[in-house]
Amino acid sequence: MKFIKLPMKFFLFGIGLLSLCLLGCVNNERSRNWANPNVSGEVLVQQVCSTCHGIDGQSQNGMFPKLAGQNKDYIVGQLEVIKGRERDSAHTKQFMWGPGRYLTPKQMDEIAVYFANMPPMKANNVDPSIISDLTSYFSKPDPNFASGPTYKVSAADAALIAEGKEIYQKGIPSKEVKACASCHGELGQGDSPIPRVAGQHVYYLNYRARIAMTKIMANLSDSQINSISLYLASIQGPPNEEKATLDPVTKDSFAGEDKENDCHYSVWTYGWYCGSWMDAFVKSLKNQ
Ligand code: HEC
Ligand code: HEC
């Protein structure tokens, strides 16, 4: 008899768990389901976007832009063109078309306010060992994912940084290059809808400047663009003026509960998985 009783207990326990899950699985406060319009922008930032952009908006990888203190209107504008697929560089397609696909205008607005209110992007350290070969560093299409192309600025960069600062602040009138500061602000803080660039990753700045600022960059040499990127990566801009208080993030804030629709990006295989974290992990092991 014992044999029958035991599985029966487990069976009932299983049903209990299942019904709990049915309730828990649609917890909009914890959902990772980016296709659910009822999940707030703040929850999406914590559950989905934080994977790459960091829970505090200070991403750790040079390929993933920092969004801490990024300007609200700029973020909304980018989310719109990402959703509309007008922003279609390789990295945007690969990483952002998924999370951006279903965002509603309300979610975009909430996401943008949440990031804009964070303490701004921190200055980066730039590694002297990379300086000697900047061009080859920037020309790598996919920087090493695991360690990330985080760049550390050193004293050896002083000359390059000074050159970058000069161009940023004054432009190059003889080449009809306008001062970047005239739009992005003296301190690189931008001005909605113009993006904050101070404290951004050097790799991202260098790569994006050439795409977003095609006309201006055409009149600058590679080495000048490198210098400006180094300068901007090495400074921190001021926080946004209209700063609201953010709810504190605890270690539980971003534990997902939406098992059915749980989508996340796997750094093992560079691919999106929808389903449970366990499935994603097993799949990624198989793909290794
Ligand atoms: C898998 C990693 C990943 C996830 C998850 C992710 N992003 Fe991104 N995001 C990126 C990358 C990479 C780029 C840069 C694309 C490029 O280089 O053009 C980017 C760019 C952006 C930009 C443009 C920033 C700029 O300075 O122009 C915004 C805004 C953004 N993401 C918001 C979000 C939001 C909101 C979410 C969550 C709903 C999210 N991202 C989730 C990787 C990710
Ligand atoms: C006339 C105003 C103006 C000037 C001058 C200007 N920018 Fe911009 N910049 C913008 C705007 C607007 C955008 C956003 C473009 C978009 O919406 O795609 C931008 C985007 C960027 C981006 C992409 C930021 C991101 O988060 O993806 C970088 C990097 C950048 N600019 C660097 C520079 C540098 C370096 C200079 C000087 C050599 C410069 N800009 C001069 C207006 C300007």
Domain with 104, as residue range(s), is 29-119
Please, are residues 55 and 46 in contact by the beta-carbon 8 Å criterion?
A: yes
134 and 215 in a single domain? The answer is yes
Cα(96) to centroid(ligand 1), Å: 5
- Could you tell me how far CA 115 lies from the centroid of its own chain? 10
End-to-end CA distance of the chain: 46
46 and 82 in a single domain? The answer is yes
89 Cβ below 6 A of ligand 1: yes
61 and 111 in a single domain? The answer is yes
In a domain, 79, yes or no: yes
In a domain, 73, yes or no: yes
Question: Domain boundary residue among 184, 205, 233?
Answer: 233
- Ligand 2 atom 41, closest CA: 180
Burial class (CB in 10 A: 0-12, 13-18, 19+), 268: middle
**Minimum-distance ligand 2 atom for the alpha carbon of 167:** 38
140 and 224 in a single domain? The answer is yes
Q: How many domains does the chain have?
A: 2
Query: Residue 28: which residues within 8 A CB-CB, separation 6 or more?
Result: 36, 38, 39, 40, 43
Give pLDDT, residue 150: 44
Give pLDDT, residue 174: 93
Identity of the amino acid at 117: N
Q: DSSP strand E in the chain: where? A: 263-266, 271-274
115 and 203 in a single domain? The answer is no
What is residue 265's three-state secondary structure? strand
- Ligand 2 atom 20, closest CA: 212
Give pLDDT, residue 260: 55
For residues 12 and 186, give the distance between their C-alpha atoms in angstroms, rounded to a whole number. Answer: 66
Tokens of 253: 């804030």
- Helix residue spans in 84-174 (DSSP H): 90-91, 97-100, 105-116, 128-131, 134-139, 158-170
78 Cβ below 6 A of ligand 1: yes
For residues 268 and 62, give the distance between their C-alpha atoms in angstroms, rounded to a whole number. Answer: 17
In a domain, 269, yes or no: no
Question: Domain boundary residue among 69, 84, 119?
Answer: 119
Cα(19) to centroid(ligand 1), Å: 35
79 and 149 in a single domain? The answer is no
CA angle 173, 175, 178 (to 5 degrees): 50
In a domain, 283, yes or no: no
**Minimum-distance ligand 1 atom for the alpha carbon of 111:** 35
213 Cβ below 6 A of ligand 2: yes
Give pLDDT, residue 30: 76
**pTM for the model:** 0.82
Pocket test for ligand 2, best of 86, 183, 204 (most atoms within 8 A of CB): 183
Give pLDDT, residue 159: 82
**pLDDT digit string (tens) for the chain, length 288 residues:** 444 455 555 555 444 444 444 444 567 877 878 888 999 999 999 888 988 898 889 988 788 899 999 999 999 999 999 999 999 988 898 889 989 999 999 999 999 999 999 999 998 876 555 554 555 555 554 443 333 344 445 555 678 888 999 999 999 999 989 999 999 999 999 988 899 999 998 888 988 998 888 888 899 998 898 889 889 998 999 998 765 556 656 555 555 555 555 565 554 444 555 655 555 555 555 543
Give pLDDT, residue 243: 59
Query: Residue 108's domain is classified under what CATH number?
Result: 1.10.760.10
Long-range CB contacts (within 8 A, 24+) of 42-46: 42/110, 42/111, 42/114, 42/247, 44/99, 44/103, 44/107, 44/111, 45/111, 45/114, 45/115, 46/249, 46/253, 46/254
Please, are residues 159 and 278 in contact by the beta-carbon 8 Å criterion?
A: no
Please, are residues 262 and 244 in contact by the beta-carbon 8 Å criterion?
A: no
Cis previous bond, 193, omega within 30:
yes
